[in-house]
A = this chain, B = another copy of it.
Amino acid sequence: MKQITSRDNASYKELKHLASSASARKKSAKTMLDGVHLCQAFLQHRGSPELCVVSASCVDHHEVVGILAQCEEDGADCIVLPDNLYQALSQVENGIGILFVIAANQEQAPQQLSLNAVLLDNLQDPGNLGSILRSAAAAGIQQVFCSPGSASAWSPKVLRAGMGAHFLLDIFENVDLHALISASTIPVLATSSHTKTTIYQINLNRPLAWLFGHEGQGVDPELMALATDTVTIPQKPEIESMNVAASAAICFFEQVRQQIAGASK
């Protein structure tokens, strides 16, 4: 296992750049997974990283030992850093010092919707995006399509909030949702408070795509007009709306409930 001890080392400088700069991550098509949980989830679902970085004081931690063993078995590069150098890379406070550098290649989005999917138009908050990815994966949804203005799905914040959901999903970014919805042969459902049909009244036991939008402004009206149906989550009129990640979770799991009910018929 290689050791780096100087902050002037070229590889270390590159790591630091990757940790702190969204444009560096974008340019290199790489991102960082910070902490034991994300690294374990990646190994389990996606295999070995490009690089594994460990802080010196955590080399003997039993979970780190297991991760390092698998990385070395797979021939992945591993680096040990002094704790102070490691800390400058990590956004996790008081965590166990291990991180992966992985490729965050943009897969080409399919031209056509055919599986259960989530479409995100201009969603801004990394915590909301991570929570939606986690709920979607938990509900067995496979594909997520994000518009150009949405938060970056592979940023460290979204990865942390996603808790490994990223590795179970196909996430497509910078997608022209207008074209995708226009060409769709499966229903695209958008939630709206200005509609009467509730999520409990519509058949969700079929392949469909959910469309959610910006936290403040909602879905772009032009996209909304392209949706097959608008549906509502029936709520007290005194409340204007719910958090978008909460709304999404309710929709995804009403779909799960209808799938279970359909299967038992």
Known: A127-B127, A200-B257, A257-B254. A242 touches B249 (CB 8 A): yes
Q: Which of A163, A234, A249 neighbours the largest number of chain B CB atoms within 10 Å of its CB?
A: A249
> B139 touching A236 by the CB < 8 A rule?
yes
* Complex interface residues of chain A between 234 and 265 (CB less than 8 A to chain B): 234-236, 238-243, 245-250, 253-254, 256-257, 260-261
Q: Is A138 an interface residue (CB 8 A)?
A: yes
**Listed stretches A14-22, A63-71, A129-137, A173-181; interface member:** A129-137
A75 sits at the interface (CB 8 A):
no
User: Is there an interface contact between A234 and B249, defined as CB atoms closer than 8 Å?
Assistant: no
A134 in contact with B246 given A236-B168, A240-B163 (CB within 8 Å): yes
Least distance between A191 CB and chain B CB atoms (Å): 12
- Asked if A165 lies at the interface with its beta carbon under 8 angstroms from chain B, I say yes
A79 on interface, CB distance cutoff 8 Å: no
Is the CB of A140 closer than 8 A to any CB of chain B? Answer: yes
Contacts of A58 in B (CB 8 A): none
So how many copies of this chain end up in the complex?
2
Asked if A43 is at the interface of the complex by the 8 Å CB criterion, the answer is no
Q: Which residues of B have CB within 8 Å of A138?
A: 233, 235-236, 239, 241-242
CB neighbours (8 Å) of A246 from chain B are 131, 134-135, 245-246, 248-249
Would you call B140 and A236 a contact (CB within 8 A)?
A: yes
Tell me the smallest distance from the CB of A20 to a CB of chain B, in Å: 22
Q: Mark A196-230, 1 if CB is under 8 A from B, else 0.
A: 00101000000000000000000000000000000
Chain A residues within CB distance 8 Å of chain B: 45, 127, 130-131, 134-135, 137-140, 161, 163-165, 168, 198, 200, 233-236, 238-243, 245-250, 253-254, 256-257, 260-261
Beyond contacts A140-B236, A165-B239: 12 other A-B pairs, Cβ-Cβ < 8 A, are A45-B238, A135-B243, A137-B239, A138-B239, A138-B242, A139-B236, A164-B239, A164-B240, A198-B260, A234-B256, A249-B250, A257-B257
